[in-house]
Chain A
Amino acid sequence: MIPEFHYRVRWRAAGAHPGRHASHRTGGGYEFAGHQPFAAFPDPRNIDSHATLNDPFGQLMVKTFRQRSAIPVFVLADLSASMGYADKVQVLAEFTSAAAYSAYRSGDPFGLIVCGETIRWDVSLPLRWHKGGLPADTAANLARIRPDARSAAALEAAVPHLGRGRALVLLVSDFHLDDAFLESLFDALRPHDVVPVAVWSRAEYDALPDWGLIHLRDPETGQRRRLFMRPALKRRFRDVFQARRERLRELAVRHGAREPFLLEDRLDADALTRYFYET
């Protein structure tokens, strides 16, 4: 079963396509918008007798309503080599299919843009109403992919492909990116509602061995380091990741994104729903 979460945005959509989210558009709905002369909105069903009688010019007045609209939902995925650690790709695939399914269930169009050094169009999806969630072949491709890009530079290049209207952008990454890049990325994404989803694994800090010699290789930079693990060093790892989390939150909030959602090891759809209702 595909997990499903409910997302909520705190802004009014601009799209004309009817959907689930509050909108600027006047149209069929239950949200009262105001009174207009009948000439402007010639819909006899909505003639308001009170307003007509109160009108000093004696015009026929109609009630207008705001419709509910669909919003574009994008998953913007980072596929740099660091995402190859542990089973982060599986978590990414799982999250993407959950997001696509949730968008389908909310009646929103869904798009997927996967970025390494360049945009990986072979596993990306254009913005469409995808019936039943993520197409099976995309899901399979995504789960099979082995991240080997040296950077996630294409994330910034993907911003123009998100369209002009405001969209909900789920930025899925492990956020092992340098701060300057993140700042300019958040700035470029400012027109959109950005939810940073940090995919981390406990194996990066909590599950490290207490004692022993480990030899680590950074797949992006090729840097190697041999470490003598001991409880003090493990504690340092934990502290570094905690500090990184704080730093990420500060960066996101300062540059107009939402607070980061931490996806640790596996997707908890209910936690994500709760997150959307809290922020």
Chain B
Amino acid sequence: MSFGFVSPWWLLLGAGALLPWLRPGQPAVDYSSLAMMPEDRLSVAIDRGLRALTSLALAALAAGIAGPYALEQWEERLGTGAHIVLLMDRSSSMNENFSGRYLGGTAGESKNAVARRLLADFVRRRGDDLFAMVAFSAAPRYVMPLTQDREAVLAAIDSVGDRGHGITNIAPGLAMALDFFNGRPATGARIILLVSDGATRIEEESQDMIRQWFQDSQSRLYWIYLRSTNSAPLDRPPTGASDDASPEYLLHRYFQSLGVPYTAYEATNPRAVEEAIADIGRLANQPLRYLEKVPRKDLSGWCYGCALILLLPLLAAKSLEVHAW
């Protein structure tokens, strides 16, 4: 623990703590002869005690005025879970349900809503993991850094519930998700949980960079592919000659070539999504060492509290004083 003061010059007031040792603070009454009186131990003890109390109270007040605080610091914590970055697709297609319908009585739950509900469940179950969140459509959106704060993660998941729009542009999202691991010690499993319902081609250049980053950070990749009935399964090679025909297949192949553990879950209905998430939840946990930032804390209240407690007996002593008889 290290401390600091908002305005340390006020600490000079602490010199006032010497005053009670110079002056007792009670007006003296002239008495004929003290030399005759034997030493009274109890009185001496009470006198010293009162002086010490006054001294400490003054010091506490001076410290309180100076505004002490505990510096912000990094606290090492031991976690047992993984670092999980939730990479959530916010493209317009996520507004549809699994049958490809967009609206109407039979539309049911949208893919987005299903994904959010299940992710929230997942987060709630995984007590020890650190979560971060990135949403992406045409461009990635930074939602939440890695944290263990459950409330914050759940709120972040909830926040991506509005209508999605735009296309699915995976590469920048992946780059941002990988960036969360950048510069952090590799203390446990790193997982990127990609939830999307489609894919786009990634350019050759980006592909190489992302591959490099994946290998540097030793992250695992899980892809929950929310497949509508009318889109192609992942392992069926495209029939046409065009690359655009089945970007999901190409992306799947690309992910397999990353050189890091990769699993894809094709979820064609809400139940399948649930199973996919339960599957990830079963992954072995490694103990995880990480640093968490504790914000700077104001300690002046403690000083004032101490001063108050010290001043109460002094008030009692003041009321006991006798000045004339």
Write the residues of chain A forming the contact surface with B, with a CB cutoff of 8 angstroms: 81-85, 88, 174, 176, 178, 201, 203-204, 207-209, 211-221, 223-229, 233, 236-237, 240-241, 244
Contact = CB atoms under 8 A, between A and B. Distances in A.
B38 interface: yes
Nearest to A241: B36
Given A215-B27, A215-B28, A226-B46, A82 B33 contact: yes
Given A176-B36, A212-B322, A213-B321, A219 B43 contact: no
Given A174-B32, A236-B40, A241-B36, 12 more contacts: A84-B30, A85-B32, A176-B32, A176-B35, A208-B325, A209-B325, A213-B322, A218-B33, A226-B43, A233-B43, A240-B37, A244-B36
Given A203-B325, A227-B43, A228-B42, A217 B317 contact: no
A238 to B, nearest CB: 12
B32 A240 contact: no
Contacts of B47: 225-226
17 contacts: A82-B33, A84-B30, A85-B30, A201-B32, A212-B322, A214-B325, A215-B321, A216-B28, A216-B31, A218-B31, A219-B30, A223-B35, A224-B24, A226-B47, A227-B40, A233-B40, A240-B36
B55 to A, nearest CB: 15
B308 to A, nearest CB: 21
A213 B35 contact: no
A213 B317 contact: yes
Given A225-B43, A226-B47, A228-B46, A214 B322 contact: yes
B321 A212 contact: yes
B29 interface: yes
A181 to B, nearest CB: 12
B33 to A, nearest CB: 3
B43 A209 contact: no
Nearest to B26: A215
Do most interface residues of chain B lie in helix, strand or loop, or is the interface mixed?
A: loop
B284 interface: no
A-B pairs with the 3 shortest C-beta distances?
A176-B33, A217-B28, A212-B322
B34 interface: yes
Interface of B: 24, 26-38, 40, 42-43, 46-47, 50, 317, 320-322, 325
Contacts of B322: 209, 212-214, 229
Nearest to B51: A226
A178 B29 CA distance: 22
A119 to B, nearest CB: 22
A201 B30 CA distance: 13
B34 A226 contact: no
A81 B32 CA distance: 8
A236 B38 contact: yes
A221 B30 contact: no
B183 to A, nearest CB: 64
Contacts of A237: 37
A227 B26 CA distance: 11
Nearest to B31: A216
B43 A217 contact: no
A213 B26 contact: yes
Nearest to A229: B322
B29 A216 contact: yes
B43 to A, nearest CB: 4
A204 B325 CA distance: 10
Contacts of A225: 34, 37, 43, 47
B29 A215 contact: yes
Contacts of A209: 322, 325
- Among B27, B42, B325, the one with the most A-chain Cβ atoms within 10 Å of its Cβ is B325
B35 A218 contact: yes
B38 A220 contact: no
A218 B34 contact: yes
B142 to A, nearest CB: 66
Contact of A216 (B34, B42, B46, B50): B34
A174 B43 CA distance: 26
Contact of B320 (A178, A212, A218, A236): A212
A213 B31 CA distance: 14
A219 B322 CA distance: 19
Contacts of B325: 203, 207-209, 214
Contacts of A227: 40, 43
A214 B29 contact: yes
A208 B46 CA distance: 19
B318 to A, nearest CB: 9
A204 B32 contact: yes
A88 B31 CA distance: 12
A88 B28 CA distance: 19
Contacts of A85: 30-32
A115 to B, nearest CB: 17
- Among A81, A84, A213, the one with the most B-chain Cβ atoms within 10 Å of its Cβ is A213
A31 to B, nearest CB: 46
